[in-house]
Amino acid sequence: MADEEHPIEDMTVPLLRQIQGQLARIESDLSDVKERLTAIELLNANTNQRLDRFETRLMRIERRLEILDE
């Protein structure tokens, strides 16, 4: 008789629980992706700093050797 009284709710509740579980997994995956992206951005920033230092050193060497392109 309970099935006859609330047929839509009896079908909807399990679907909502399934959606809720999938959403929790998506949120967890998104959090992992954000952490990995942050690590990549930090690595990229570090690489850019190193390249800037190399450029500065190269320019200094070129000036000393008087081969600087201007």
62 half-sphere exposure, CB direction, 13 A CA radius: 10
Domain membership flag for residue 70 = no
**Would residue 39 count as lying in a domain?**
yes
- Domain of residue 25: give its range: 2-65
Amino acid 7: pLDDT? 86
Q: How far is CA 61 from the centre of its chain?
A: 39
pLDDT (tens digit per residue) in 15-55: 999 999 999 999 999 999 999 999 999 999 999 999 999 99
Please state the domain count of the chain: 1
Residue 40 lies in a domain: yes
CA 14 to chain centre: 32
